[in-house]
Chains A and B, each alone.
Chain A
Amino acid sequence: MLIRLAIVILIIAVVLVFDAPNYKKSNKRGRAVYGISITAAIYLGLDYAAGKDWPDLHNVADFIFSAPAKMITTYFESKS
Chain B
Amino acid sequence: MNVKETVSPVQMSTLFFIFMTGSAIINIPGPLIGFAKNGAWLSLLISSAFGFFALACMLYLHNKYPGSTYIDYAKKMVGPWLTALLSVPLILTMCHMASGIVLDMGLFLTTTMMKKTPIFVFNAFTFTLIAFTVRAGIEVMVRMFTNLILIMLFFVFIVLLLSIPNYHPDYILPIMPDGIKPVLHGAYFSFGFPFAESFLFAMLLPFAKKNPGKKYSLNRWMYIALLLNTVILILSVICVIFVAGPVSGDVKYSLYMVARLIDFQDIIQRIESVIGMTLIAGSYMKATVVLFVLNLTLNRLFALQNDRLLIFPLALITLFLSVVIFDSEIQWFDIVSSKWPLWIGAAGFVPLLLLTLIASCKQK
Contacts and interface: CB of A to CB of B under 8 A. Distances in A.
Nearest to A60: B92
A42 to B, nearest CB: 9
A11 B314 CA distance: 13
B323 A57 contact: no
Contact of A58 (B316, B325, B337): B325
Which interface class (under 10, 10 to 19, 20 to 34, 35 or more) fits B? 35 or more
Contacts of B331: 58
Interface string A59-80: 0111011101110110111111
B309 A45 contact: no
A26 B70 CA distance: 24
Contacts of A61: 96, 335, 339, 343
Given A7-B120, A15-B316, A72 B96 contact: no
B92, B327, B335, B338 pick with most chain A CB within 10 angstroms = B338
B120 to A, nearest CB: 7
A80 B316 contact: no
A33 B305 contact: no
A15 B324 contact: no
Contacts of A40: 313, 317
Contact of A76 (B124, B188, B313, B327): B188
B321 A44 contact: yes
B339 A65 contact: yes
A47 B324 contact: yes
Interface string A2-21: 00100110011001001100
Contacts, number: 118
Given A29-B302, A41-B320, A80 B124 contact: no
A69 B339 contact: yes
B342 interface: yes
A80 B304 CA distance: 53
Interface string B91-128: 01001100000000000000000000000100010000
A18 B312 contact: yes
Nearest to A26: B306
A64 B95 CA distance: 17
B181 interface: yes
Contact of B320 (A22, A48, A80): A48
20 contacts: A7-B120, A15-B316, A33-B298, A40-B313, A40-B317, A44-B316, A45-B320, A47-B324, A48-B323, A65-B342, A65-B343, A69-B339, A69-B342, A72-B338, A73-B185, A76-B185, A76-B188, A78-B181, A79-B181, A80-B178
Given A29-B304, A47-B324, 16 more contacts: A8-B320, A15-B313, A15-B316, A19-B309, A22-B306, A26-B305, A44-B321, A54-B324, A56-B321, A57-B95, A70-B338, A72-B188, A75-B181, A76-B182, A76-B185, A80-B178
Interface of B: 35, 92, 95-96, 120, 124, 178-179, 181-182, 184-185, 188, 298, 302-306, 308-310, 312-314, 316-317, 319-321, 323-325, 327, 331, 335, 337-339, 342-343
Interface of A: 4, 7-8, 11-12, 15, 18-19, 22-23, 25-27, 29-30, 33-34, 37-38, 40-41, 44-45, 47-48, 53-54, 56-58, 60-62, 64-66, 68-70, 72-73, 75-80
